[in-house]
Structures are given as C-alpha cells and as structure tokens.
Amino acid sequence: MPFLTKLKLSPITNLADARFAAAAGIEYMGFCFDPSSKDFLLPIKAKEILEWTSGSFAVGEFGDQDIAEISELSELLGLDVVLLNNSILPDELPQIGKPIIKAISLDQMGSIELANELCAYAPFADAFQINGTMPFADRMDELTEACLQYKIMLNLPYQANNITQLLNALKPYALNLPAGEEEKTGMKEFDDLNALLDILSVQA
C-alpha cells in the first residue's frame, strides 16, 4: 500500500510488529539496541525476528556505544541502516560502514543549535530523525526549514487528527510511528496504528 510519505515503525520488540510492518509496506523497522532504554531488545532476539521477516529495511537504533561495537553488531545482524543518538563526531560516521540516520532531540535544542547540528552532520548522515515531546506547532518555522533542506524523519506527538496537517505543512522525508506494546506474548492489537495508516495511505 503506498503512503503519503515513507514510514518507520519503532521500536520493534516482537515478531508481530515486524510482520505487521512488512505486510503493511512500511519502509523501515527500528530495533533499539541502546541498553539504557526501556525498549532495549537483545540482539539475538532481533536476529530471530529478522530471519522471519523481509520487505522492510532494518534500522538499528543505538545509544552511547562506541563505533566498534555499533559496526560489529550492524554487520552481525545484517542491518540496513544505523540510527545514532550519541555524540559520535560527524567525520567519524563513515567508519560505521552503513547508511546513517542521525537522531536529534528537539526538546534539548534552540533554533541556532538545531541549525548548527543539522549543518555539521549533513555531509555524513543520510537522514535525520527529529525527536520531540512538545506540540510540533511550537517549532513549525524551524521544522519547515529543516524539511526543506534535509531528509527529515519526524518522531513527534502526532495523532490521527493532526497527522495530515503535519504532512501538508512540512512535507517530511518520513514519519516514525510508535509500535506500541504487546497485550501478552504473541497477542497485539493494531487498531490505532491501522487508523493512522488509513489516513496516511494514498487514495486511489
């Protein structure tokens, strides 16, 4: 199913999430390998999930690991893309050997800091994921400028009633959609996610 923009489902923590993403035609699946995160997934579990799914790009989402660990795990799991939350310097990114999405926290940066961060990493990053918890309307001018200049994946608090407004206003490269949690092992409802996908689908 074609969508109005590229989509990433994250964090993938179980096979049901991965199969849903692949079946729905979601471009990217994000796996959290940051041990300090509540969403941390053991690499061996991610490997099992990836062996049973295909059709979406696997994105490894890292925290404060060093380059050697990130590169080794990326190769071991056959990841397609690496998302970095840490402070690895821009010119060190090519050492990882994978396409890079650089994560940026909108909540922790002012306008000048955001612009400087994007500019510094742009020569080495394939895209940026802008994370935030505040209403996106509060930073609309900055986000509009960023989306015009760079490949921006937005990870903001949007809902079914404002996601179309966001897309029309910003035209981002992609959206990150939250995967949610299992009700119990092997059981999960996708009603809310399906509602968002219906809104985001290209109507024939």
Residue with more model confidence, 191 or 29: 29
Q: How many domains does the chain have?
A: 1
Interval 6-29 mean pLDDT: 95
Chain mean pLDDT for the chain: 91
Q: How far apart are CA 191 and CA 112, in angstroms?
A: 39
Whole-prediction pTM: 0.93
Would 1 be classed as within a structural domain?
Answer: no
Q: Domain containing 139 — which CATH number?
A: 3.20.20.70
| Predicted local confidence at residue 182, as pLDDT | 59
pLDDT of residue 186: 53
pLDDT for 53 equals: 92
* pLDDT value, residue 67: 95
User: Which residues constitute the domain of residue 149?
Assistant: 6-200
**Res 188: pLDDT:** 64
Q: What pLDDT score was predicted for residue 204?
A: 42
Model confidence over 136-186: pLDDT tens digits? 777 899 999 999 999 999 998 887 788 888 898 899 999 999 987 655 555
Q: Is residue 190 part of a domain?
A: yes
| Structure confidence at residue 18 as a pLDDT band (50, 70, 90) | very high
Q: Quick check: is 32 in a domain?
A: yes
What lies within 8 Å, CB to CB, of 105 at 6+ separation is 131, 132
Half-sphere exposure of residue 191: CA atoms within 13 angstroms, side-chain side: 3
Asked if residue 121 has pLDDT above 60, the reply is yes
pLDDT recorded at residue 185: 54
Specify the pLDDT at position 183.
Answer: 54
Which residue carries 């200049």 as its tokens?
149
CA 115 – CA 191 distance, rounded (Å) = 37
Domain assignment present for 149: yes
* pLDDT tens digit sequence for 55-100: 999 999 999 999 999 999 999 999 999 999 988 999 999 999 999 9
